[in-house]
Chains A and B, each alone.
Chain A
Amino acid sequence: MSFFNAISRLRNSLWIEWRIAIRFLAESPLQTLLISVAISVGAAVIVFITALIMGLQINLINKTLGTQAHIRIEATQQHNNFSEFPEGKYVWTFENPRAQRLQTINNWQEVRDTLDQYSAFNTVSPLISGPAFATKGSARSSVALMGIDPKRYTGIINLEEYLTEGQFSIEASDILIGYQLAKDLGLRSGDKLRIDAGDNHQAVMNVAGIFELGVRELDSRYVYTSLKQAQTLLNLPGGITILEIKISDVFSAEYWAQRIQKLTGLYVQSWMESNGQLLNALNSQSMTTQIIRVFVAMSVIFGIASVLAVSVVQRTREIGILRAMGSSQQQILRVFLLQGGLLGLTGSLLGVLMGYTLIQIFNAIDTKLFVIELETSMMLSAIFIATLAGVLAAMVPARRAAKYDPAVAIRYV
């Protein structure tokens, strides 16, 4: 590992500084142990809280995005067209927003095929969605008719995973409905259901399966059918209303949304835009943890600095001797910077271990809630940052040690 390579190279080039630093630390074991424990507690808190919040956020995002596309592409919204105004004249108009009717995306197959070429997109899935009524006997419920291409749609929501009853089929007149709707209308798999999309477009469908996505709104409204069925019912032959995309890096959704918008001129929305609330919450949560981390890190840094400041005073005479033996000011400086770095390194190694243990305990206690994962890169960067912080903390005491007047330091008892 390059980090440890760097350390062993440092050890060779600063051979004597390294040795003195180690010996000085080893010579006051209690002091070294206490500050190491303090550093490790700080590091453990940082590691644990970071992993916890990260786990929480990933969990939240996964839950939210599990039943959502990352990017939705729709036909451009319709608006009022005005005839050209005569030059140099002001025109007062009173404008009512246009009612939006179902609108197909022009050349959607072409758009889909183009988007298929991007490796950043895992899935590009067409969807035709429109309002309808579902009736059974005298019970009626308004639903969202979702015509999908089942193979592609699996990449958006893997419906099979959410089935609680029946089987995954939307062939011919088979449909899938949410469990809330099934409850409202008293349906079970195998039952018949009439779908009425208005304008005399209606059909009797066969409930092949019942799913539970865990989102009430979806479970009470979504009715999945094939593209073809939905196109017929919604009177949009061959058309679709939405192209849905899942990407590998969820946080690049906004970037891609804007690119697609430029590319196609269509109306494109990322999950980040449509879940502004969630994102806000996540951001302020991150900020809070950031603040906690900064404060913990600061107290660790001041802890290292104060221990080294004491140690510099304790070592006054030895510093004087070393200077008389021909050590340079820089060597003295490096001896104490190294001590800071070493304290940071050992403390954080210990701390990461403690944090890791804490997380294992957390995961063992409450497996139902969510599992916190501790990434190796996170642990390594925690160790690296703590080491660096140790060096920084040593800066002030080390400079003081280097500046000692050797003639005075030698007399120090």
Chain B
Amino acid sequence: MSNSSVLITPDNQQTVLQLDKINKVFNEGTPLANHVLHDVSLQVSRGELVALVGTSGSGKSTLLNVMGLLDLYSSGELRIQGHLTQGLSEQQRTQLRSESIGFVFQFHHLINAFSTIDNVLMPLMLRYGKPNQEQTEYAQYLLNEVGLANYAHIATNRLSGGQQQRVAIARALVSRPALILADEPTGNLDTQTADEVFDLFERFNVEHQCAIVIVTHDPRLSARCPRTIRLTDGRIVYDGASANLPNAFTKTV
């Protein structure tokens, strides 16, 4: 099962993501300065499934945005698939993002002006223009995989929340990224739908060997991830096997 990934030791695997003493200060140098991430260091290897947990405002989304190059960090070192991200131009950051990272957000975040399959194809279309047959077939395959085979040409605003989130997962996978970052992907869904969506993450994690970092408030789901990272006030207070997470933490999640 998905437990195969827990046995992987980061050292002898390709490191997908490496953070070294990352700090993030919003509004740096102004009276409104807000130091949100403090010396965050972590590593994510190929094929890992990691839960990122912490109380509201602890900096989970901020960390995810920094890791996904959506946001700049203030100091430290961030490597994506070995690439140093220090001093990259906006264009280079965009390119690295589009090659290596797929995103899934809490609210479906699809583009309603496009059909379901076009939403799935969007990362490829933005990169390569008009999709070829192979790309279209792969998108259709992913839609089959997330159980939406018959919804390809339907406007996304006619899908349910769970369906939309599944489209978003297919979209995150379409460019075969090494890393998927998911910010509370199930936060908006009922328990059963959340479980189904989480099943998909687990499956793709195994089948595609892509590393996944999931922010979640749901202890049941984080327990299903082999590894948990816990943030408190922007500091990592726990990073290890989910099974060993101190009870004191699980309660407050």
Contacts and interface: CB of A to CB of B under 8 A. Distances in A.
Interface string B32-60: 00000000000000000000000000000
A317 B65 CA distance: 15
B203 interface: no
Contacts of B98: 325-327
B127 interface: yes
A6 B125 CA distance: 22
A327 B94 contact: yes
Given A15-B130, A23-B114, A410-B70, A325 B94 contact: no
B114 A326 contact: no
Contacts of A324: 68, 70, 97, 103, 105
Contacts of A325: 98, 103, 122-123, 126, 171
Interface in A295-326: 317-318, 321-326
Interface in B84-112: 90-91, 94-95, 97-99, 103, 105, 109-112
Given A15-B130, A318-B111, A326-B175, A407 B65 contact: yes
B109 A321 contact: yes
A327 B123 CA distance: 8
A405 B71 CA distance: 8
B113 interface: yes
A329 interface: yes
A235 interface: no
Nearest to B129: A15
A410 B71 CA distance: 11
Nearest to A411: B61
Nearest to A25: B113
A301 B65 CA distance: 37
A405 B72 CA distance: 10
A24 interface: yes
Given A324-B70, A329-B90, A16 B111 contact: no
Nearest to B97: A326
A406 B94 CA distance: 11
A328 B70 contact: no
Contacts of B122: 322, 325
A27 interface: yes
A328 B91 contact: yes
Given A24-B113, A317-B109, A326 B126 contact: yes
A323 B70 contact: yes
Contacts of B113: 20, 23-24, 26-27, 318
Contacts of B91: 328-330
A323 B68 CA distance: 11
A143 B90 CA distance: 85
Interface in B163-178: 171, 175
A323 B175 CA distance: 15
A353 to B, nearest CB: 28
Contacts of A24: 113
A344 B222 CA distance: 52
Interface in B127-151: 127, 129-130
B178 to A, nearest CB: 14
A190 B6 CA distance: 122
Contacts of B175: 326
A238 B182 CA distance: 103
Contacts of A26: 113
Given A16-B125, A406-B70, A323 B109 contact: no
B126 A331 contact: yes
A326 B94 contact: yes
Contact of A322 (B99, B112, B126): B126
Nearest to A409: B70
B133 to A, nearest CB: 16
Nearest to A410: B105
Contacts of A326: 94-95, 97-99, 123, 126-127, 175
A108 B105 CA distance: 91
A323 B126 CA distance: 10
Contacts of B68: 324
Contacts of B123: 325-326
Interface string B201-235: 00000000000000000000000000000000000
Given A20-B113, A27-B113, A405-B71, 4 more contacts: A16-B125, A326-B98, A327-B126, A410-B109
6 contacts: A15-B130, A16-B125, A321-B105, A325-B122, A326-B98, A405-B71
